[in-house]
């Protein structure tokens, strides 16, 4: 049976059948290599030896971020608690108003009325306490940020050579050439006692709790509670320089470094 008979029997137009046969008779031509190259998406291969441009975050910075986030979360919970406590104050005040009316009408005792007054006072005390905790959380966050800023500024300070002397608005630093050890502290103590007829006011001898908190290695240094610009402080600084003893004299507090004006005798305390 030829294609014309097939067209007649299947009731398809002869032209449609002939067109279909022409289409099916065209051989399949595969895509050329050049076309395949064009259609393929070129993706750069990862280089395992390429350096990572992302700078690693040091441990202290990570701990600061975690502390700030935890403090913010704590502050958020306090703010929710504050809303509840303020509602309790309004309820207690409403009950106190009712108690006043009932007490004036002789319907409740004086003890009941005074109980309503105590309830208001207690509710207000809780609000005050929560507000203080929120303020404390804000202070802790601010101190942590200032500490990080102070460290950044100190890190930019150029190294001081042996015998070098640097004086700024905040601190004075002398990098004495003498091999200082905390066991030599008696020399400084004897000088101060001979000159001023009183003991050297040592605030911290070696490592202290504040240094542990700030992760400072203070084992081979001592802090003296003297203002560097006062007469006693000036005399002490002159003695230290004349004997090549290194020191850092702080005129003001620096978050994360100095709690207030004092003289740090020894090499600078480094982070650990």
Q: What is the pLDDT along the chain (272 residues), one digit of tens a residue?
A: 544 454 444 444 444 444 444 444 444 444 444 444 444 445 555 454 444 444 445 676 777 788 788 888 988 999 999 999 999 999 999 999 999 999 999 999 999 999 999 999 999 999 999 999 988 888 777 666 655 655 555 555 556 667 677 777 777 888 888 888 888 899 999 999 999 999 999 888 877 676 666 667 777 788 888 988 899 999 999 999 999 998 888 876 554 444 568 888 888 766 65
Q: What is the value of pTM for the model shown?
A: 0.42
pLDDT at 92: 94
Q: What φ, ψ does residue 168 adopt, rounded to 5°?
A: -125, 180
The DSSP code sequence of 176-206 is --S---GGGHHHHHHHHHHHHSS---EEEES
| Angle in degrees, CA 6, 9, 15, rounded to 5 | 55
DSSP strands (E only) in the chain: 165-167, 171-174, 202-205, 222-224, 247-250, 262-265
Distance from C-alpha of 14 to C-alpha of 169, rounded to nearest angstrom:
104
pLDDT at 248: 84
Alpha helices in 156-269 (DSSP H): 185-196, 209-213, 231-242
Distance from C-alpha of 70 to C-alpha of 64, rounded to nearest angstrom:
10
Cβ atoms of 196 and 240 closer than 8 Å: no
> What separation in angstroms does the CA of 123 have from each of 76, 98, 119, 136?
20, 17, 6, 20
Distance from C-alpha of 84 to C-alpha of 88, rounded to nearest angstrom:
6
Nearest to 218 by CA among 148, 156, 270: 270
Cβ atoms of 223 and 175 closer than 8 Å: no
Question: For the chain, how far is it from start to end, CA to CA, in angstroms?
Answer: 97
Instruction: Please state the domain extents for the chain.
Output: 60-151, 165-265
């Amino acid at each position: 049976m030829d294609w014309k008979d097939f067209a007649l029997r299947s009731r398809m137009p002869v032209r449609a059948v002939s067109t279909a046969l022409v289409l099916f008779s065209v051989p399949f031509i595969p895509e050329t290599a050049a076309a395949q190259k064009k259609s393929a998406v070129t993706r750069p291969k990862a280089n395992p030896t390429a350096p990572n441009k992302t700078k690693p975050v040091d441990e202290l910075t990570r701990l600061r971020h975690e502390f700030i986030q935890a403090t913010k979360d704590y502050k958020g919970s306090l703010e929710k608690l504050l809303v509840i406590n303020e509602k309790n104050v309004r309820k207690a005040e409403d009950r106190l108003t009712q108690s006043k009316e009932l007490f004036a009408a002789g319907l409740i005792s004086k003890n009941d009325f005074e109980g309503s007054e105590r309830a208001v006072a207690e509710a207000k005390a809780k609000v005050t306490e929560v507000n203080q905790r929120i303020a404390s959380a804000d202070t802790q966050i601010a101190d942590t940020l200032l500490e990080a800023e102070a460290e950044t500024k100190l890190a930019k300070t150029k190294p001081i050579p042996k015998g070098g002397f640097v004086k700024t608005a905040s601190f004075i630093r002398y990098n004495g050439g003498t091999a200082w050890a905390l066991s030599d502290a008696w020399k400084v103590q004897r000088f101060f006692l001979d000159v001023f007829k009183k003991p050297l006011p040592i605030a911290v001898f070696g490592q202290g709790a504040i240094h542990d908190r700030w992760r400072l290695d203070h084992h081979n240094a001592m802090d003296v509670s003297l203002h560097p610009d006062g007469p006693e402080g000036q005399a002490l600084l002159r003695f230290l320089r004349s004997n090549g003893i290194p020191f850092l004299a702080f005129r003001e507090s620096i978050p994360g470094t100095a709690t207030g004006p004092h003289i740090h005798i020894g090499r600078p305390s480094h982070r650990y």
